[in-house]
Structure 1
Amino acid sequence: MEIIIGAIVAGIVLGWLDVFNYKWRLWLNRISTGCLFVMLLCLGAKIGCDSGLLAQIKTLGVQSLVLGGSAILGTMAMFMVVAKILAPDFKREEEE
């Protein structure tokens, strides 16, 4: 885990210092996308091999649906509240 955190910190520092030119950034972006794909593939394979997890897939699916739906509805509700507080006259300006 220390290696992963060290690589992330090194990437942040090198990006912040603007060490690489555009060509290098393009290649590094492609490499990081490929590594992310391999990591997700390995994660999916590990989940697929876990029989205990697969036995509870329906329960996990329902829980994730409820969690995701709650997050979306909560975000929409907070947006409505903030929009009413910060822009109460926005609707009137549109109508004029």
Structure 2
Amino acid sequence: MANHFEFNIRVYIEDTDAGGIVYHANHIRYMERTRTEWLRAAGVSHYWHQSDYNFVVHKISVKYMRPILMDDLITVTARVISCKASSFVLQQNIYRGEIMLAS
């Protein structure tokens, strides 16, 4: 699997509150979508059609730095921090251009 993956997401009005700011739980959805696309890009798309193993998110820690706004084009990254026999740790960040929005 690639050690670094990037996925672009456009923010829609349905992702935001009345002020046009992305609801905090949607940050986690964007990260989940990026992990899914990372697996697909790595050729693990068969994951959804098997029963031998599962990927389980064991722990999430999010640091919100700046708001994500309606119609932003964001880049969500996934980078492998460590990999063991039956687990791995990812670092995921959300950027608008060069500005980090969440980690």
TM, length-normalised to structure 2:
0.25
Which has the bigger relative contact order, CA under 8 A and spacing at least 6?
2
Greater strand percent: which structure? 2
Say which one has the larger Rg: 1
Greater helix percent: which structure? 1
TM, length-normalised to structure 1:
0.27
